[in-house]
Structures are given as structure tokens and as C-alpha cells.
Amino acid sequence: MLNDTVARVTDRIIERSAPSRGAYLARMRRAAEEGPARAHLSCSGQAHAYAGAGQDQAALATQSAGNIGIITTYNDMLSAHQPFERFPTLIRDTARAAGGTAQVAGGVPAMCDGVTQGTPGMELSLFSRDIIAMAAGVGLSHNTFDSAIYLGVCDKIVPGLVIAAQAFGHLPAVFLPAGPMTSGISNDEKAIVRQKFAAGEATREELMASEMAAYHGPGTCTFYGTANTNQMLMEFMGLHLPGASFVNPNTPLRDALTVAGTQRALAISHLGNEYTPVCDVLDEKAYVNGIVGLHATGGSTNLLIHLVAMARAGGIVLDWQDFSDLADVTPLLARVYPNGLADVNHFHAAGGLGFMIGQLMAGGLLHDEVKTIAGDGLSRYTQDPKLKDGAVEWVAGPTETLNEKIVRPIGDPFQPTGGLKRLAGNLGNAVTKVSAVKPKHHIVEAPIRVFHDQESVKDAYRNGEFNEDVIVVVRFQGPKANGMPELHSLTPVLANLQARGLKVALVTDGRMSGASGKVLSAIHVCPEAVDGGPIARLQDGDIVRVDARDGQLTVLTPGAMERPVATADLSGNEYGQGRELFATFRNTVGAADTGASSI
């Protein structure tokens, strides 16, 4: 039986979204009726479209069991996307063997927040999601495709691709992951070296050796940050094949899943026997399933922005209260770094997503009656893919945890509620990730120090200025101010202060990554400082309370909210490392709680 809160939140989303969702679906039905433009193109237009197709030219010009448009984020400087180099050839060969065709419709950018962390390039990161969506739209705009395959993994990339897929919602959308790199040194060991370096107790050579041992080969980073949270969502929301998310790159099973995904993309096209457009897969129930998965796994806070933006592209209106209400009834069933010692490979081996989906369904927390690219019903996603004679065969997945330190049954969770919490009070709205924060740190009330950039925080730390309980406020970091960069480079500093026995918290209108963990952080504060939000009225020494138990974010100092708002010189955000190209995005972007989108 479906949980009452899950049912109530789902009904609330359906009612709230009815006008926009209805209009969206009507557009998609019209597009489906019109079909791809291949048959309507001029002979010259068709010749242009097929000229580079080699041996597939004749099939495209005369007949085809379906033409797949591939949108790829391949590049070979980022480990997560390097494996995609091999995918287009494998997809083309598979489509050809099935009587179809496949073409790379377009490439889209893929940047890594881990590389740009703490640099000006990070200020392009959030906006890259909208660029990815638009670039994918350009690739598909030739309208010669019956189905689409999306090759993408990381932080802003999957959300951007989902937004694009919904713009072309009359087409089926199959997402093919690359998989996580094999395990290197433990994430906990890596974090210890980072904290030692921040404290001046480790050399840069020691830090570099640690990082190279952690990030050592092709595939996604193995901690449970935004990239792997994206992979979880694609499975919970029915856009991956069952069990596909965490299979390592360049393995026989990974290749077999890519073959199976390509075959499925043809089967569910309008020319196949099981037409399943993505507009029917990504409905309100699918988004609720995704949010439940986010909470149950202790996923990345970035998805509180991305899921809102993704949903709006399909006419569905989510708000942070939906997330908060679902968190209250969703138990935390996984401990994966940073809220545990295991990485995603260990998680997958312990039962992984198939086990968790089965447990959450048994607890009435997921909608089974949904469409997926694998067929009707989320129960399909309790199965595990296995290799048999070189092809994928799905078998029943585990019904018991294979490692209770990593995944737990629904009757014995790590904690009774999800890992994310909405905060509200006279400082506005914010969110926090508490799955990795010890309960004794869930409430911090202390004097504040106010900063306008993260480097100033690190300078104050190096100068020995933090000697008592403190809430660090970093403002003018919202989407309008500078693109809302992640402030993950503050994590070692704040963790060191907390390790000294100080009460520590962070309050910011910026973001922390899915790797944030041990320190209580009120992030995504809305309205942001540059919009005159209450955070812009704070001064050093004000007493602020961050309360993750009762969901409060409050300044307690009398008269603080009567002060004029502070201003900041943001001219330094406008130029350098491509920032001058993104002025339009900074000027038009919406608030974080509406998805921080410019499109």
C-alpha cells in the first residue's frame, strides 16, 4: 500500500502542475503526430543529413527500422566521460544489425566541478547545465530521428540532458551511463590527507599522491556525489536499463548493456512495437520516485536545484516543501561516502539500487505503476543484469542486504528520515544535507563571521582567526551574483575547526557539492544576497541558529533585519576564464528554489 505522505505529495504536485503539464503534453502529442522530418525534407536536405553516414546512407535514404540520434558528452580529459569514446561505434553497429541506423546528432560540453573547484571556471558550472540542454536541442533540431540516446554522467550534465530530452519529449530517451572507475584508495583516507594539507600537516606532494591514487582511471568518481546521484536518479526514474548505473567501464557487461540500450531505443520508437516517449516516462510519479531515491541514498544537495529545473522542462512544478515532506517519511538505507566509508562499487556489490528499490517498494514509498524504458512498472528495477552468452539477461536481484554496514533493509534503516532537510526562518529558505552530519552537530547556534568569497575564509583560517564557536557566512555566491559556484574547498577547513571541538556551521547562498558531509551547512539560501535577501543584512557577531532537527534558519540578534542590505563589488566576477560570455545567464537566472535556470 502506498504511503499516505507519498500519495499526498504526489497528488499535490499533480494538482499544482495541471495547467503547465497539460499544455506540455499537448505539445508533445502534436510533435509525435507530425513525426520526424526525414520524409518531408527536400532531397537536398536529406542528402546533407546522410552524406556522412557511410554504409548507412542507403538505409537512411530509403528505409530504416529507426534512426537513433546520439547526444554525447565525450571528452578525454575527464575520467567520467572518456569511456564514451567507444560508444558511438558500438551503438551504430548494434542499430545496423537490427535494421536501424544511428548518427551522432551532436556533442555537448562536460565540465568537472572537481577540476574547477575554487577557481573562476567554477562560476560557469551551474550555467553549463542550460548550455548542455540548448546544445543537445541544437543537435536534435534537425528532426531526423526516431529515438535518442544520451551519453552523459556528471553533475550538471545529466540534468541538462534530461531538460533537452523533455523538450523533445515525443521521442524515446535512453540514457547510457559509462559507469564508475574501479576503487582506488578509500575516500576516507583521501579526506584525511586533504584535512592534513589544509592544516599544514601534509605536503603538496603527499596530497598529489593521495589524489592520484583516488582518481586513477576511466569512469566516474567513486564517492556518492552529484555524478553518482544522477546515475541513481536515472534508474529510479526509469531512464537507465535496470542495474546499469554502477557497472565499471570497458567491461563485457558494460558493453552488453550499451548494446541492450541501443536495441531498446529502437524497440520503443514510433517504428517499434512499444512506443514509449520520454514525456510519458517522466511524469509526476517518476519525479516523486526520484526524490524518494535521493533521500533514501543520502544523495547530493545539488539535486534540489536540478530536479526542480528538470521537472519544469516537462511542465511539472516541484518545490522544496515536496522534498522536505518526502524526507520525513523516507528512511536512510545507504551509507556511501561521504556519509559512510564505502564507495559506489562497494554499494553496488552489497545489493545496490535493485535491493533498495525493492525495499522502498515493499515499504510503500515508491510508485510501481510508471512507464520506463524497460517496460511498465518500476518493479523491473529490482532485477540484476547478468551476462549469458555475451548478452544481457536480467535475473531476480537480492532480497537481503549483502553488507548491512552499507545498505540496510527498510525495517532496520541507518536513520528513520532522509538525508536532506529544508530550512526556513527569517533568513529565508535553505537546504541542508544531514546524512553525514553526526546528530550532536545538527543544531549550531553561534556568532557569525561574514565573508564575500571562499578565499577570504581560508585566509582567516590560515591567520588563526577562528578560535571559538562560529557560523561562517559566505554570501554573494548565488546564481545572479557569480553563477553559484560550489564551495567544496571550504570543507577541509570547516572540518578541521569542528575536529578541534568547536561548534561550526556554514550559511551561504552558494552551493556545496554532493561531497559535502561532516559539517552542518545551510546552503542555497534564497533570496540571495545580490537580490537583497536577509543574508545581506548580517554583520560579524550576529547570533544565528541553524537547526536541522526543526528545520530553522534564524538570526537571533535584535534589529538585524532592520539594517540596510550590504552590497559587494562583483565586477571581478564578470571577466576571465570565459565569465564574460555568461553575463546574459547571470542577468536572467531564476532563484535556486525555482531551479536556478535561465531557460
CA distance 560 to 539: 8
The length of the chain in residues reads: 599
Number of H helices, E strands in the chain: 21, 16
- Per the CB < 8 A criterion, the answer to whether 386 and 394 are in contact is yes
Dihedral angle sign, alpha carbons of residues 52, 53, 58, 63: negative
Please tell me whether 112 is known to bind a ligand: no
CA distance 291 to 533: 27
Q: Give me the helices (H) in 314-415, please.
A: 320-329, 344-349, 352-362
Which residue, among 393, 89, 106, 407, has the nearest Cα to 232 in the 3D structure? 407
- Give residue 279's Cα distance to chain centre: 20
The C-alpha cell of 341 is what? 566509508
| Residue located via cell numbers 546522410 | 50
Please tell me whether 154 is known to bind a ligand: yes
- Per the CB < 8 A criterion, the answer to whether 290 and 330 are in contact is no
| Residue located via cell numbers 543574508 | 535
| Type and span of the H or E element at 508 | strand 504-508
* Half-sphere exposure for 288 (CA within 13 Å, toward CB): 29
CA distance 67 to 89: 14
Binding-site annotation: residue ranges: 154, 221
Binding-site annotation: residue ranges for [4Fe-4S] cluster: 154, 221
